[in-house]
Structure 1
Amino acid sequence: MESNTQFQQKISDDFAAWARESVGSRADRQHSLREFDIESWRYLSERGIWRIAVPAELGGENNTWWDFIAAFQGVARGGRDLGFCLSMVAQAGLIRALVRQGTPEQQKTWLPGLLNGQVSSMALTEESGGSDISKMAVTTGPHDALLSGTKVHITNAPVADVILVLGRSGDLEPKANATLFMVDASDPRLLRGPAETMLGNHTSPTGRLDFDGVPIAPVNVLGEPGNGLHLIHEIIAFDRLLYGMLATAYLDPLIDDLLNFVHERRAFHAVLADHQYVQGRITDIKFAVESTRGISRSAMEAVMSGSADASLLCSIAKYQAAESLRTGTENALRIFGHSGYEEGWVSRSVRDALGAVIAGGTAEMQKKNAFTQMVALR
């Protein structure tokens, strides 16, 4: 019987190999086409990426979320497509929420498709409010519940099969009516805009969603009506720590690439590795990676144990992840020099990394949430 560490290493290595032959081999093409890699998504789904932490009675493999993270990091390490992994983050949180909060009917309705390769999306942001999730779509009365409103800049929206929407229940008090709704994206009353043209992360499409009276039944309401903010904060916290896990797995092989490069390339009559300023840039990346790794694991432990400081640690993990990705890829570009600045995987990694500064809540949002949590924990 393998130890958990051995098992997780095997899962990580297996998914790294599978991602290398799917995501990694297709990344250049998908980025040039600015298209989501649905073929690789289905390939990894068939190999059980989404089943890992789901209970056996729900169609899963009955392992842990630590095991899922090992597989997720394998995809990041092997596929080396940051955008693709950001789309995975959006899916993982919803699956975990369905397992934890879904009714048996909801689990039967929504989980099989998601485990077998459907794509999900989480719709929070609105045009007037940015990431201020107090501004939400509204449902009408209890007997003719219809979801209407608009969400913008939503990850996976152009390709999603299932969408989790934060809205308001019209039959509850305005100050306590935030509710989560599961929506079938094939509903004709849901209109989707085209994928937005972004600086980077071309393989993780974002777009607009317009809900024009989408019918809402009990199976569409995740959790208790009016409890949407509490549930979405739980989902977001898990998403934020995944950014930290992603950053370390994405940057680890980049460090290997840099070490190989600086020992082969010469400048001023010496290999680059002999120059102290080059050493400093690489060690800066390593320090950032290890700091992010530590806080992300602490955040994961806090989430799994239900610790009071879980949200605080998840915000720190997200902040550290974004900063590590930004500075790490920029340092890589500086070391590779002109060849890194040319169109290719190095310059692409810089553009993709900048997206992490915005996605999942900006650095300013993470600081605001961290301060709020610090005050609450006094």
Structure 2
Amino acid sequence: MGNNAGLYALTDEHEAIREAVREIAEREIAPWAAEVDADSRYPVEAQKALTAAGFHATHIPEAYGGEGADAIATCIVIEEVARVDVSASLIPAVNKLGSVPVILSASEDLKQKVLPSIAAGDAMISYGLSEREAGSDAASMRTRARREGDSWVLNGTKAWITNASVSEWFTVMAVTDPEKGANGISAFVVHRDDPGFAVGPKEKKMGIKGSPTCELYFTDCTIPADRIVGEPGTGFKTALRTLDFTRPTIGAQAVGVAQGALDAAIAYTKDRRQFGSAVSDFQGVQFMLADMAMKIEAARHLVYVAAARGETGGPDLTMVSASAKAFASDVAMQVTTDAVQLFGGAGYTQDFPVERMMRDAKITQIYEGTNQVQRMVIARSLLK
């Protein structure tokens, strides 16, 4: 991060976006969050509200019918939605994850084919990198693509694909040249109606239960040749570059859920009385709240620094993005766990949102690169 750290300033527009999203989140998303979690159902209300307001995919450039919002604005949207429901925040977050490879590396024709439908809210896009045996070691994937005339033919399985059953488009990594390792992996855009493509059943998860996570099956899945993203063999590079731009969005989810938990804990401890005083009058509780607030504020700034750095580029983008994701998600896990503690026995029940927040927070330490992998990435940057 050194001397050329990404400086940023929040603008009036950023603050207006936060206000607008918070209002929508409180009114249209929060009331359904407990039910979405309890029933493991997709948050259709959130999707409708976010799409109507243009907050479902703010990052897509204006050239493709999008808002063309900067990375900080997109992080603010995700943060404010995650404050009330992490599952719903995956709508804008995964639309970004799935489409960034297309934005970075696809031909103009392919961009025109895919991005306008996402910008308009007619379609969503998921990202297919992981496999059961290729999680952190994504380069060891087994899904294959071979060229046949005017088509590419894909065979294999992808795992843990977020929002799989509600997406139309999928950015999928597959091996096109097994001899070349990571340099033999290519990226493709698959449509859910392509022959030989199927989405598997939903995983039963600890948290983010409103976001359907499924496998993808490719059985001689045949797509037009022009659906390759960039040149053959560049897919893994595109995947890694994508994560530089999307890891801050996971940091934003983490900051949001932590803020939601802190807000709930402050309200509850002020209201709850024990030993003749409000629980918030006890210094032990006050110090817990102070630590929670400090860590959230530090995490929030680091996330915005990483988002701003993605706009300006720079050699430390990978390191600062990994730092933001790992730090913010560790903070979210600490803060949500402490929030449950501050609610006491009530916090362990589903009568209050903090137990859901704690379960939802856990995934932020795991997906888009486990925090162990983030630390490897950071160390590699420091030591090279």
Q: How does the TM-score come out when normalised to structure 1?
A: 0.91
Paired amino acid for 2:368: G
Residue in 2 that maps onto 1:102: 106
Whole-angstrom CA distance in 2 between matches of 1:259 and 1:139: 53
Residue in 2 that maps onto 1:8: 14
Q: 2:274 matched to 1:267?
A: yes
Whole-angstrom CA distance in 1 between matches of 2:196 and 2:22: 39
Whole-angstrom CA distance in 1 between matches of 2:198 and 2:62: 35
Question: Given the alignment, which residue of 293, 317, 322 partners 1:315?
Answer: 322
Going from structure 1 to structure 2, the CA distance change for 1:97 and 1:175 (only over 3 Å counts) comes to closer
**Residue deviations 1:235-260, cap 9 Å, x none?**
11222111222222332243233222
Paired amino acid for 1:114: I
Whole-angstrom CA distance in 1 between matches of 2:272 and 2:181: 63
What number of residue pairs does the alignment pair up? 372
**Secondary structure in 2 aligned to 1:200?**
coil
The structure whose RCO (Cα within 8 Å, separation 6+) is larger is: 2
Stretches of structure 1 that go unaligned for 5 or more consecutive residues are: none
Paired amino acid for 2:286: Q
Paired amino acid for 2:22: A
Q: 2:62 matched to 1:61?
A: no
Paired amino acid for 2:359: R
Q: Structure 1 residue 50: deviation in Å?
A: 4.3
CA contact (8 A) 1:172 1:226 kept: no
CA contact (8 A) 1:189 1:212 kept: yes
Q: Structure 1 residue 127: deviation in Å?
A: 1.7
Going from structure 1 to structure 2, the CA distance change for 1:316 and 1:51 (only over 3 Å counts) comes to closer
Q: Structure 1 residue 95: deviation in Å?
A: 3.0
**More displaced 10-residue stretch of structure 1: 121-130 or 324-333:** 121-130
Residue in 2 that maps onto 1:358: 366
Residue in 2 that maps onto 1:258: 265
**Secondary structure in 1 aligned to 2:156?**
strand
Query: Matches of residues 132-211 of structure 1 in structure 2 within 5 Å?
Result: 132-136=137-141, 137-143=143-149, 145-170=152-177, 173-174=180-181, 176-211=183-218
Whole-angstrom CA distance in 1 between matches of 2:272 and 2:321: 39
Whole-angstrom CA distance in 2 between matches of 1:153 and 1:51: 21
Q: 2:281 matched to 1:277?
A: no
CA contact (8 A) 1:124 1:131 kept: no
**Residue deviations 1:137-186, cap 9 Å, x none?**
11123535201111111111222211111112249845522111110012
Q: How does the TM-score come out when normalised to structure 2?
A: 0.90
Q: 2:40 matched to 1:40?
A: no
Residue in 1 that maps onto 2:347: 340
Q: Structure 1 residue 81: deviation in Å?
A: 0.6
Stretches of structure 2 that go unaligned for 5 or more consecutive residues are: 1-8
Q: 2:306 matched to 1:306?
A: no
Instruction: Report sequence identity in percent.
Output: 24
Going from structure 1 to structure 2, the CA distance change for 1:324 and 1:284 (only over 3 Å counts) comes to same
Q: Structure 1 residue 231: deviation in Å?
A: 1.0
